[in-house]
Homo-oligomer: A and B are copies of this chain.
Amino acid sequence: MNIQGEMIIGRQAVRGSAGTLRAYNPTTRAEMEPEFGAASMDDLAAACLLAEQAFDAYRGQPLEQRARFLETIADRIMDLGPALIERASAESGLPAARLEGERARTCNQLRLFAKVVRDGHFLEATLDSALPQRTPPRPDLRMRKIGLGPVAVFGASNFPLAFSVAGGDTASALAAGCPVVVKAHNAHLGTSELVGKAIRQAVEDCGMPDGTFSMLIGTGFEIGLALVQHPVIKAVGFTGSRNGGLALVNAAQARKEPIPVYAEMSSINPFYLLPGALAAGGAKLAQGFVDSLTMGTGQFCTNPGLVIALAGPDLDVFRTAVTEALAAKGAGTMLTAGIHQAYVDAIARRSGLEGVELIAQGSTDGCGCAAQAALYQADAATFLSNSALEEEIFGPSSLIVVCKDDAELLEVTRHVEGQLTATIHATAADRDLAAKLMPTLERKAGRILFNGFPTGVEVSHSMVHGGPFPATSDSRTTSVGATAIERFLRPVCYQDVPAELLPEALRDENPLGLTRMVDGKLQ
Residue of B nearest to A116 (CB): B520
Interface residues of A in 11-61 (CB under 8 A from B): 55-56, 60
Complex Cα distance, B196 from A514, in Å, reads 42
Q: In the complex the two chains form, what is the Cα distance from A431 to B502 in whole Å?
A: 12
Contact A439 B490, CB 8 Å, known A115-B520, A463-B143: no
Interface residue stretch chosen among A68-76, A167-175, A374-382, A445-453: A445-453
Check if A496 sits within 8 Å of B450, measured CB to CB. Answer: yes
**Are B143 and A257 in touch, CB under 8 angstroms?**
no
- Which of chain A's residues 108-141 have a Cβ closer than 8 Å to chain B? 115, 119, 121, 124, 126-128, 136, 138-139, 141
| Proximity string of chain A (189-231) to chain B, C-beta cutoff 8 Å, 1 when within and 0 when not | 0000000000000000000000000000000000000000000
Interface size class of A (residues with CB under 8 A): 35 or more
A477 to chain B, nearest CB (A): 8
8 Å CB contact of A520 from B452, B461, B494: B461
Question: B residues within 8 A CB of A522?
Answer: 121, 515, 522
Contact of A460 with B by CB under 8 A: yes
B448, A464: Cβ atoms closer than 8 Å? no
Query: Counting CB contacts under 8 A, is A142 at the interface?
Result: yes
Given contacts A143-B464, A458-B138, A461-B126, contact A482 B257 (CB under 8 A): no
Q: Which of A283-291, A340-348, A465-473 contacts B (4 or more CB under 8 A)?
A: A465-473
**Does A258 sit within 8 A of B, measured CB to CB?**
yes
A110 to B: closest C-beta gap in Å: 16
Q: Is A253 an interface residue (CB 8 A)?
A: yes
Q: Check: A361 CB closer than 8 A to any chain B CB.
A: no
Tell me which residues from 431 to 458 in chain A have a Cβ below 8 Å from any Cβ of chain B.
431, 434-435, 438-439, 442-443, 445-452, 456, 458
Q: List 15 A-B contacts (CB under 8 A).
A: A115-B520, A127-B462, A139-B449, A139-B458, A141-B458, A260-B474, A426-B498, A442-B492, A448-B493, A449-B494, A449-B497, A451-B496, A461-B520, A476-B491, A478-B493
Chain A residues engaging chain B, CB cutoff 8 angstroms: 55-56, 60, 115, 119, 121, 124, 126-128, 136, 138-139, 141-143, 146, 148-149, 249-250, 253, 257-258, 260, 417-418, 426, 431, 434-435, 438-439, 442-443, 445-452, 456, 458, 460-464, 466, 468-470, 473-478, 482-483, 489-498, 500-501, 515, 517, 519-520, 522
For the complex with contacts A148-B475, A258-B473, 7 further pairs of A-B residues with Cβ separation under 8 Å are A126-B483, A139-B452, A141-B462, A449-B496, A450-B496, A475-B490, A476-B489
